[in-house]
Structure 1
Amino acid sequence: MSRATAIFLAATVPALAALSAVAQPSPPQRAYHHLWTDDQGVSHIATCPVEHFFLKSMSPPAGPQWQDPMPQQTATVMLTVQPAHWNGDWHPDPKPQWVVPLQGRWYVRAMDGTRVEMGPGDILFGEDQNVRPMPDGPYKGKKGHDAGNVGDDPVTLMVIQSANPPTIGRPCPFH
């Protein structure tokens, strides 16, 4: 190897290594709320990480984007608009469903008293189908979850209802 080649490689290899490090960004860290039911029929809300992203094009030649696919399932997609001051009272979700606020803010409260407020960009997986009425305490006779709008505006939600049966007794089933 000539001296010029050695000097060229000595200068180029570290630069290429640095460029390679810049070209490999860290995967994102995201989370969703999971409204789930324990073995006693009480609903809870857990915050679950989504962290198994990989970088890939969804449709070449489009550029790569971070993906973390969920298991395939049959689902119904709908948009809902809750009128201003909407209150859903206590009820279980009709089916396991993803709820993504698109506009406005709303809240969900589980039977254990946990309450979360969500707005655009937040995600909830509601899976409280097998709840039983609370036998005592401040939510005696209530089952499922309480939900309603926060503030004076309507709330627009994207709801994706799954045909899959609910999972009982296990929070955070998706990554």
Structure 2
Amino acid sequence: MPDTATMTLPELFTDADGRARWRERVLPLAEGSPASRLTALAPSGGSQWRRSPAGFASQFHCTTTPQWLVVLRGRMEIGLQDGSRRVFGPGECFYSNDTLPPGATFDATLHGHCSRALGDEGLETLFVRD
């Protein structure tokens, strides 16, 4: 049975060496009722909807503003500099927090992640900024 006191979701972050990596982000579910546990209400810097066509692929880049990314339609692959890849489908999300380290100049062989739409279907996502 899942832990009812916390929710664990993926976080893409910048490690001390400047490289993007994955870790688990634990969110306390301290509000609501036993039947419907909630996190504390988080402030938001706004939201954006995005539609990308089938075949969409980005170059390596860093997240400019930490944000939650929720896949609404299609499948999205996130690739890291180490060659690892992770796929997210409809209803799945992650916290995108791989910002450029302070004082660093972007290096496409070191920093960030790339993304692409998988399959013949386009990709629809929702971004919710911190």
* 1:27/1:54 contact within 8 Å kept: no
Q: Which residue of 2 aligns with 1:56?
A: 32
Greater Cα radius of gyration, structure 1 or 2: 1
Residue 38 (str. 1) matches residue 15 (str. 2) = yes
> What TM-score do you get using the length of structure 1 for normalisation?
0.61
1:22-101 matches, cutoff 5 A? 27=4, 30-50=7-27, 52-54=28-30, 56=32, 65-69=36-40, 72-101=42-71
Higher relative contact order (CA 8 A, sep 6+): 2
Q: Distance in 1 between matches of 2:90 and 2:128?
A: 16
Q: Which amino acid is 1:94 matched to?
A: T
Deviation at 1:76, TM superposition (A): 1.4
Q: Which residue of 1 aligns with 2:107?
A: 133
More helix per residue: 1
Q: Deviations over 1:149-172 (max 9, x none)?
A: 11111111010122xxxxxxxxxx
* 2:72/2:91 contact within 8 Å kept: yes
* 1:102/1:157 contact within 8 Å kept: yes
More strand per residue: 2
Deviation at 1:75, TM superposition (A): 1.0
Distance 1:151 1:47, change over 3 A: farther
Q: Which amino acid is 1:153 matched to?
A: E
RMSD: 2.6
Structure 1: runs of 5+ lacking an equivalent: 1-25, 58-63, 135-140, 163-175
- Name the SS for the 1:89 alignment partner: coil
Q: Distance in 1 between matches of 2:77 and 2:68?
A: 14
